C-alpha cells in the first residue's frame, strides 16, 4: 500500500484507479469542519492602530455608527478589550441587497499591549466615529522616597 504522500504526488506511474480514488475520499471531521458555520453568530473584529508617543501609547479604531453607550472598554495593565455593537436603523431583507459590506452586529477585540499602562490615568475619546485611547505608560524607573512615621 502506498503512503498518502506517494498517492498525492503520484510518484509512481502504476497507480490504479482505486488508489487514486482514496485521495478523493476525504471525510470532513468535527475538528476541521463545522456544518452550521453560517448559522453560528459571528462577531466582528475591530481594526486598530497603536503608536508609541514616548510616555503614552495611543490606540485608535473606527467605531462609526456605534453609540458611545454601546461601547465597553476593559483595560488591565497589559491588555485592552473593546466590545460593542452596531445596529442598522431599519430592517432590509437580504434579497434587497446588491452588495453588503458594512458590518452590523456585535464586535470585540482584545489587544495585548507592548508595555504596562497606568489604567487610572487612561482616557477614551470618541469623535466623528474615531475612538482614541490615550494610555500612559507605567514608569518603571520612577523612584520615590517614603517618610517613616
Which residue's C-alpha cell is 442598522?
A: 88
| pLDDT at res. 17 | 52
What is the average pLDDT across 29-46?
56
Residue 137, helix vs strand vs coil = strand
Grid cell in block for residue 7: 498517492
C-alpha dihedral, 65 to 68 to 69 to 71, nearest 10°: 80
pTM greater than 0.85 (yes/no):
no
Domains contained in the chain, CATH given: 1-40 (no CATH), 48-91+102-136 (2.60.40.790)
Fill in the DSSP letter of residue 114. S
Q: Is 129 left (phi over 0), alpha (psi -120 to 50) or beta?
A: left
Provide the b/e sequence for 90-103 (b: ≥16 CB within 10 Å): eeeeeeeeeeeeee
Grid cell in block for residue 55: 510616555
Instruction: For 102-112, write each residue's pLDDT tens digit.
Output: 777 888 999 99
Closest CA relative to residue 83, chosen from 125, 111, 120: 111
Task: Say how far apart CA 111 and CA 45 lie, in whole Å.
Answer: 11
Instruction: For 57-80, write each residue's pLDDT tens digit.
Output: 999 999 988 888 889 999 999 999
Grid cell in block for residue 133: 485611547
Residue 96, helix vs strand vs coil = helix
Q: Which helix (H) or strand (E) holds 59?
A: strand 56-62
Q: Is pLDDT at 122 greater than 90 in this prediction?
A: yes
Contact 132/124 with Cβ under 8 angstroms?
A: yes
Amino acid at each position: 500500500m502506498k503512503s498518502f504522500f506517494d498517492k498525492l504526488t503520484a510518484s509512481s506511474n502504476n497507480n490504479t484507479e482505486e488508489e487514486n480514488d482514496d485521495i478523493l475520499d476525504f471525510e470532513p471531521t468535527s475538528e476541521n469542519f463545522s456544518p452550521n458555520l453560517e448559522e453560528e453568530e459571528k462577531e466582528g473584529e475591530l481594526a486598530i492602530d497603536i503608536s508609541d508617543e514616548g510616555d503614552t501609547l495611543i490606540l485608535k479604531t473606527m467605531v462609526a455608527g456605534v453609540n458611545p453607550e454601546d461601547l465597553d472598554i476593559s483595560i488591565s495593565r497589559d491588555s485592552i478589550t473593546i466590545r460593542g455593537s452596531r445596529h442598522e436603523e431599519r430592517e432590509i431583507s437580504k434579497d434587497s441587497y446588491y452588495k453588503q459590506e458594512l458590518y452590523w452586529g456585535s464586535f470585540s477585540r482584545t489587544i495585548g499591549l507592548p508595555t504596562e499602562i497606568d489604567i487610572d490615568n487612561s482616557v477614551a475619546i470618541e469623535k466623528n466615529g474615531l475612538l482614541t485611547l490615550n494610555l500612559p505608560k507605567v514608569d518603571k524607573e520612577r523612584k520615590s522616597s517614603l517618610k517613616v512615621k
